Amino acid sequence: MASPSRGGITQVAARSEMEKMSLEQLKALKEQVDLEVNLLQDSLNNIRTAINRLDIASSALNDLSLRPKGKKMLVPLTASLYVPGTLDEEEKVLVDIGTGYFVEKTMAEGKDYCSRKILLLKSNFDQLLELASKKKSVADEAGAILQAKLKQLAPTT
- Residue pLDDT, tens place only, 48-75: 999 999 999 899 888 888 888 888 888 8
What pLDDT does residue 63 have? 85
- CATH number of the domain that residue 105 is part of: 1.10.287.370
Using only the alpha carbons of the chain, give its radius of gyration. Answer: 25
Number of domains in the chain: 1
Q: Is residue 105 part of a domain?
A: yes
Question: DSSP 3-state assignment of 2?
Answer: coil
Q: Which domain holds residue 103?
A: 30-143
Q: Is residue 1 part of a domain?
A: no
pLDDT 10s digits, 9-52: 566 667 788 888 888 999 999 999 999 999 999 999 999 999 99
Report angle CA 123, 96, 83 to the nearest 5 degrees: 135
Q: Is residue 20 part of a domain?
A: no
Axis crossing angle, helix 107-153 with helix 23-65, rounded to the nearest 10: 160
Q: Is residue 22 part of a domain?
A: no
Q: Is residue 13 part of a domain?
A: no
Q: Is residue 148 part of a domain?
A: no
Q: Is residue 149 part of a domain?
A: no
pTM: predicted TM-score of the whole model, two decimal places: 0.75
Report angle CA 37, 39, 42 to the nearest 5 degrees: 110
Q: Is residue 117 part of a domain?
A: yes
Q: Please say whether the beta carbons of 52 and 68 come within 8 A.
A: no
